[in-house]
Amino acid sequence: MKPLLRLIPYLARYKKTLVIGVLTVIGSNIFTVVQPWLLGRAVDALKTGIETKGLAGTDLLQWAALIVGFAVVAGVFTFLTRQTIIVVSRHIEFDLRNDLLSHLQKLSYSYFQNTPTGDIMAHATNDISAVRNVLGPGIMYPTDTIMTFTMVLALMLIKDWELTLLALIPLPLVSFVVYRVGKRIHEKSLERQAQFSLLTTRAQENLSGIRVIKSYVREAFETAEFGKLSSDYLKKNLVLARVQSIMWPLMFLLIGISIVITLYAGGLRVMSAQLTIGSLTAFLAYLLMLIWPVIAFGWVINLLQQGAASMQRLCKILDTEPEIRDTELTDHTVRSVDGRIEFRGVNFTHKGASATTLKNICLKIDRGTTVAVVGYTGSGKTTLINLISRLYDASHGELLIDGIDIRRIPLQVLRANIGYVPQETFLFSDTLTENIRYGTDDGTPEHVREAAEISQIARDVLEFPKQFETMIGERGITLSGGQKQRTSIARALVRQPKILILDDCLSAVDTYTEEEILRRLRLFMKGRTSIIISHRISTVKDADVIVVLDKGEIVERGTHDELVAKGGIYADLNEKQLLERELEEL
């Protein structure tokens, strides 16, 4: 239950409403527990009236009206209870969901590389719903149960303490049952939620990779694999249901034993004139009123155990510290960057990897220059530029921007001044305008069109049904590969970045369009720093400096002509691509 203590700060935000809710519970219980007393008085009055023939019909109506009136008032208080405590649980669910998403967005890139998306989705849906049940019914019913149990028990003891003690003999067994069964419910809830994460992950991968699945005709295979996971989830749910099913019958059995004891012992007292029939009727009514608190107690234990299991899973995320974040070393006086970048003996090794990805990187990039990074696949090009935007932090060495250690620059300031176009283009299921202006809060239609002109997507937009207001499908599925890349470039440009990073984002663009984009980019990025990664020599040949990476090390640097003259890796790549172009022309 310890994970549930993490919810106290959320409850504190709504303490006034919760106090009102508790007061309505007290009001409801006061008007409820009085009803058996009134019923007992009415039965005694009826018995006396029958014996003496002195009870009028109006007297019975008065007793009936009193009981109904108290029931109506109790119902109003119950309604108000739900309007306070249950509503608060919905508000806390809203807060918790937002806090989870906010925390997830602060986590480092490496976290998402090692955590399945479906697993995170399961946390954001199923687990939070389970926690909300603890905050709604889990607060309302225990409060109601405790109040009812306390008031009813007090009245029963006042009426006949000996009979009360006899009736409560089976109840200590409740604690033992709740402890043993509750423990099993907690274990099985954790197993079920873990299986639900696997199921969600598989579903998410199937939907995201539907084109690959259809291309390789693997629909039947994926359906079968999903069926296996669903079957396992069903089995774990059934196991949990079996454990839960033990709780309620035992509660009914124990209450039933109490009723039998009360009828027998109470009946003897009535026959010996130690107890009136009305008092026994009221006593039995009070005992019946204990049935719901005892059942609710078992049900709430189920909710609490499931909620604790879900909160435990959520806490694993919420307790994960972002590896890359602002710290006490951060200099918050830094408001912007100019774009001068320097690597000083930088090494980088991926977490859990044995080999070093980048080794002794020493590189200066002056403000306003264009630097190209080329190399064979797996040479560390993308990792190099990921260090600039602090998706990763260097394992060793220093990375400076404007002469300041990058770890001292506030993350918000750093990334707000970088326009980054990754290899894998991601577009949202929204209009083209919203996708382009996504990276800025003040992107006017003029800025959007200017960026679209530079990236050469504007000419294609004119053919779209609603032009810039055209909705594109999930991940931009309605666009071609080249159109997605050009839209992504426009998104980076519209924020007017001081540093522009293009990570092999022109691979799906024809050479003519590529040359036009690069020509316009040179004008746009004048006075800004540009870093271009590409496998195409035609993309990088006009850069001020070209850096060649091989196995994580800088092995060559210089201009296009200088590197061709050296006859190294760059010259080899250039020669192969020239040959490929000649073959295509033939």
In the block, which residue shows the tokens 């008092």? 279
- Residues 285 and 402 grouped into a single domain: no
In a domain, 468, yes or no: yes
**Domain co-membership, 212 together with 127:** yes
Nearest by Cα to 302 from 231, 253, 246? 246
Closest C-alpha to 323, from 6, 106, 49 = 106
Q: Do 395 and 460 share a structural domain? A: yes
> What are residue 117's phi and psi, to 5 degrees?
-60, -40
> Higher pLDDT residue, 469 or 367?
367
Domain assignment present for 336: no
The percent of residues in the chain predicted with pLDDT above 90, rounded, is 0
Residue 514 belongs to a domain: yes
- Mean of the per-residue pLDDT values of the chain: 80
Read off the pLDDT band of 240 (50, 70, 90). Answer: confident
Does the CA dihedral 338-340-345-348 come out positive or negative? positive
**pLDDT at residue 586, rounded to an integer:** 62
What is the CATH classification number for the domain harbouring 9? 1.20.1560.10
Q: What are the angstrom distances between the C-alpha of 382 and each of 362, 375, 501, 539?
A: 16, 11, 10, 16
Task: Report yes or no on 328 lying in a domain.
Answer: no
Same domain as 345, residue 402: yes
Contacts of 522 (CB under 8 A, 6+ apart): 370, 542
Q: How many CB atoms lie within 10 A of CB 388?
A: 21
- Above 70 in pLDDT, residue 178? no
Q: Do β-strands 396-401 and 341-348 pair in parallel, antiparallel, or remain unpaired? A: antiparallel
Give yes or no: residues 298 and 374 share one domain: no
Task: Please identify, among 286, 318, 350, the residue that sits at the C-terminal boundary of a domain.
Answer: 318
Residues 161 and 109 in one domain: yes
pLDDT value at 221 more than 70: yes
| pLDDT higher than threshold 60 for residue 452 | yes
> How much of the chain, in percent, has pLDDT values that exceed 70?
91
3-state helix/strand/coil string of 531-565: EEECCCHHHHCCCCEEEEEECCEEEEEECHHHHHH
Q: Write the CATH number for 466.
A: 3.40.50.300
Q: Say yes or no: 26 and 129 in one domain.
A: yes
Domain boundary residue, one of 264, 286, 318:
318
Q: What is the pLDDT of residue 473?
A: 67
Is residue 439 located within the same domain as residue 559?
Answer: yes
Tens-digit pLDDT profile for residues 32-43:
888 777 777 777
**Beta-strand relationship, 418-421 and 499-503:** parallel
pTM over 0.75: no
pLDDT over 70 at 321, yes or no: yes
298 and 446 inside one domain: no
Q: Are 451 and 520 in contact (CB under 8 A)?
A: no
Given 285, 318, 351, the domain boundary residue is 318
Q: What is the pLDDT of residue 42?
A: 74
Query: What is the SS3 assignment for 501?
Result: strand
Domain assignment present for 334: no
Cα–Cα distance for residue pair 457/505, rounded to 1 Å? 14
pLDDT, tens digit, 9 for 90 and up, residues 487-518: 888 888 888 888 888 888 777 677 778 777 88
Structural domain contains residue 324: no
Tokens 């990921």 map to which residue?
Answer: 386
Pair 358, 384: CB distance under 8 Å = yes
Same domain, 240 and 168: yes
* Number of structural domains found in the chain: 2
Is 277 within a domain?
A: yes
Q: Do 368 and 468 belong to one domain?
A: yes
pLDDT digits (tens, 9 = 90+) for 367-419: 888 898 888 888 888 888 888 888 888 888 888 988 888 888 888 888 888 88
Confidence of residue 298 (pLDDT cuts 50, 70, 90): low
86 lies in the same domain as 21: yes
Pairing of strands 545-550, 529-533: unpaired
Spatial distance between the Cα atoms of 233 and 191, rounded to a whole number of angstroms: 9
Residue-level pLDDT at 105: 82
Residue at 542 is within a domain: yes
Domain region containing 486: 341-585
Is residue 50 scored above 70 in pLDDT?
Answer: no
Quote the pLDDT of residue 55.
52
* Average pLDDT estimate for 157-177: 74
